[in-house]
Structure 1
Amino acid sequence: MTSHQLPYRARASEGVRSLLAEAVTAASGRLVSLSHRLHAHPETAWEEEKAARWTASLLDDLGFAVTPGVCDLPTAFRATVGSGPLHVALCAEYDALPGLGHACGHNIIAASAVGAAAALTRVADGLGLTVTVLGTPAEEGGGGKILMLERGAFAGVDVAMMVHPGPVDVAEAEPFAVAHLGVRYTGRAAHAAAYPEQGRNAADAFTVAQVGIGLLRQQLPPTTRVHGLVTRGGEAPNAIPERTQGRWYVRAGSLEELERVRPRVEACFRAGALASGCALEIEPESPPYSEFRNDAELVALYRRNAEGIGRRFAAPGDPAARMNRASTDMGNVSRVVRALHPYLGIDSLPAVNHQREFAAACATAAADAAVLDGALALALTAADLAAGGAAGTATARDSP
């Protein structure tokens, strides 16, 4: 893939900027409607059938050439307009959280991506842009973008961009790398009162493992996080639990640090198996997510444009800005393509991401304003990139 080093001081003409603002305003009703529709019908990873269809349908109405089910993923799509040499991809996430709905605001992400794309249709030919919206399923643990990256969805893309809602605006993403682990213990059932000695307690295995993880945290680097839950703890209180299951996340500052930490966490699960006499299975639920690699020029461009339309960024060290330390499969994309992943404040405090109160905040007037601001800021950033020209040296990135 090519990636152009574009001067971030470049700026699209005032005429272009006015066209983009007018286009977002013209589409505002449809964008807010899409955001609210997605919010009212949350679908979890790999199940986003309505969300993908509704988002792609709006892009089709806006004149994009839409291909559903790309990369052999039924809830992914590609929508493209223009044929210029600078190829900008806008990533639309639309999956929700189990039990919490859109408590991470992916409805806002999808609507902002569509809005930015709708605006850029007016200037794509004049600026030499190809604009693609990628519908990217299963960010919440499934790694949809990683599979799409491996299967060629980002081939030929110069820049990949998206915005993500949070309590406050933050320009620079600093997500952790993360491994998603499925953990299963298998023991032996027995009557808990009459024949307890004949059982092998698979619930005890998790107890031992969690104690081990809790103690291990004393020796882990400060950039790591380990957390999870037991999803199956047994069948009846008077039966020794024979099968238990859980889901665990291990986060670290980089993929390299993750590879050092993950074996120590897995050793705690093995300790649970050894102590309880149970069999253990650990399987990854998705490929590991990478840390995010910020492109300094893209961040500067976005920040300038967002501030220009009235956004205000959190001060360094603001505790409300910590959402930029969450994990995303956009990190893997950033290792291959110049990428942008800022956070868009929706005035939700004291509610923060992954709370029910935050889900409620993602369909308010402030959230609707964020949809439109995010769309315009992304569109302006793409236009400024095009105004800077495509000449320059390629930025080295990893192979997919």
Structure 2
Amino acid sequence: MTNAATAVKDRIAARIAEIAPRLIALSNSLHDEPELGWQEFRSSAAVAGVLAEHGFTVERPYLGLETAFRATFGTGEFTIGFLAEYDALPGLGHACGHNLIAAMSVGGAIGLAEAAGELGITVEVIGTPAEEGGGGKIELLDRGAFTELDFALMAHPAPVDVAEAEPFAVTHWHVEYTGRAAHAAAYPERGINANDAFLIAQVALGLLRQQLPKTARVHGVMTNGGEAPNAIPEKTEGRWYVRAETTEELLALEQKVTNCFEAGALATGAELTINPESRRYSEMRTDEVALEAYRANALALGRNFDVDPVAATMNRASTDMGNVSQIVDAIHPYIGVGGEASNHQAAFAESCVGERAESTLIDGATALAWTAADVSIQRG
């Protein structure tokens, strides 16, 4: 590393350390008041507000999405985009740590902005709603977002550090059976049991799993199973995810899963409706050179990638960042917050605040900003 590059990184780190209390306050405020996808009105305003305080020009709403925003600093030809997520999980709050994602991206962007003129870059933060199944980044892609970026990056909390994201491609479905209600004791022959249709489908799915590759995932929940035990259920509903290694493999798997749901309809006479909850999330196309830069920067900060492989599998979680990576050079590393809990467990939400989480936040912001500086020097 040249003396000039070292000096740039020192200034970036110093700037992030200077604003650390503001970043921690932002993370904590998001954590304390979690909002679900497409409803992140307070959260998106809070994240965008910190960027505006530090000299970024903010466009909000962005591309017609009320809880999306774009914040911009600088006028250089090479554009770096930090992606911020801030939606929470139903019933679990920030058990995936999106409060830290937002704060790390904000901190990384403000730190990098310290050297934007010298590096000849434009720094952006794009606030992306509804990652948890809503496909907010895909909606933004459809509206023309991200195309101006030369490089995109973000970091995601996990139990341990893992540099490379290897997410499954995924389909999100809302599944509904419509039958006919009847008194279960007096007129059972007049009913069409939508609950039985779901039961048959789930048995078929359980048997299908014997023939699926180990990289495939099929899982879901029934959200409506009927109203009363003495009334044959007229309507049942559920949410189901289908995952595969690639989008191509996912398309083939979708048909097999659809067949299982159709079996429930055929056996009972119920009407089946399957509607996508979002566009498909794709697999990740990682910028390997940028990833190695991130790995080196994280190691320089004392992060550790020599971890238990069993604890490292959060990097397989699906993300709509995969879709962004298909059109923009990108990385999506995972950064550890420690503890025994894993993502989407209630206890993991508690791991995303406190002293250890605050240290992870500052490390993540710094590693991202340093990596963005490396990429801009190499390619700008």
TM-score, structure 1 as length reference: 0.93
Is 1:372 matched with 2:362? yes
Partner residue of 1:53? Answer: 45
Distance 1:298 1:150 in 2: 26
Is 1:343 matched with 2:334? yes
Distance 1:102 1:156 in 2: 30
RMSD: 1.1
Give the paired residue count.
380
Do the aligned partners of 1:11 and 1:388 also contact (CA within 8 Å) in 2?
Answer: no
Q: Deviations over 1:344-399 (max 9, x none)?
A: 00012x20000001011111211111111100001101111122243xxxxxxxxx
> Which residue identity lines up with residue 370 of structure 1 in the other structure?
T
Match of 1:352 among 342, 361, 365: 342
> Could you say what secondary structure the match of 2:63 adopts?
helix
Distance 2:132 2:349 in 1: 15
Do the aligned partners of 1:168 and 1:314 also contact (CA within 8 Å) in 2?
Answer: no
Match of 2:261 among 261, 269, 276: 269
Distance 1:218 1:84 in 2: 54
> Which residue identity lines up with residue 347 of structure 1 in the other structure?
G
Aligned-residue offset at 1:298: 1.0
Is 1:362 matched with 2:360? no
Match of 2:312 among 313, 321, 324: 321
Distance 1:145 1:314 in 2: 31
> Which residue identity lines up with residue 271 of structure 1 in the other structure?
A
> Which residue identity lines up with residue 319 of structure 1 in the other structure?
V
Aligned-residue offset at 1:12: 6.0
Alignment of structure 1 residues 178-193 onto 2, 5 Å: 178-193=170-185
TM-score, structure 2 as length reference: 0.98
> Could you say what secondary structure the match of 2:82 adopts?
strand
Is 1:222 matched with 2:222? no
Q: Deviations over 1:258-300 (max 9, x none)?
A: 0110000011000001111100000100000001111110110
Structure 1 runs of 4+ aligned residues shifted over 4 Å read: 9-12
Distance 1:45 1:176 in 2: 21
Do the aligned partners of 2:147 and 2:327 also contact (CA within 8 Å) in 1?
Answer: no
Match of 1:103 among 75, 95, 98: 95
Is 1:90 matched with 2:78? no
Distance 1:155 1:32 in 2: 31
For structure 2, the 5+ residue unaligned runs are: none
> Could you say what secondary structure the match of 2:259 adopts?
helix
> Which residue identity lines up with residue 166 of structure 1 in the other structure?
A
Q: Give the % identical residues.
A: 56
Distance change >3 Å, CA 381–CA 272, structure 1 → 2: same
> Which residue identity lines up with residue 61 of structure 1 in the other structure?
E
Partner residue of 2:323? Answer: 332
Distance 2:290 2:3 in 1: 12
Is 1:117 matched with 2:117? no
Do the aligned partners of 2:86 and 2:129 also contact (CA within 8 Å) in 1?
Answer: yes
Do the aligned partners of 2:172 and 2:280 also contact (CA within 8 Å) in 1?
Answer: yes
Distance 1:384 1:12 in 2: 12
Partner residue of 1:231? Answer: 223
Do the aligned partners of 2:178 and 2:194 also contact (CA within 8 Å) in 1?
Answer: yes
Q: Which has the higher contact order (CA 8 A, sep 6+)?
A: 1
Aligned-residue offset at 1:57: 0.6
Match of 1:174 among 128, 141, 166: 166
Do the aligned partners of 1:305 and 1:381 also contact (CA within 8 Å) in 2?
Answer: yes
Partner residue of 1:397? Answer: none
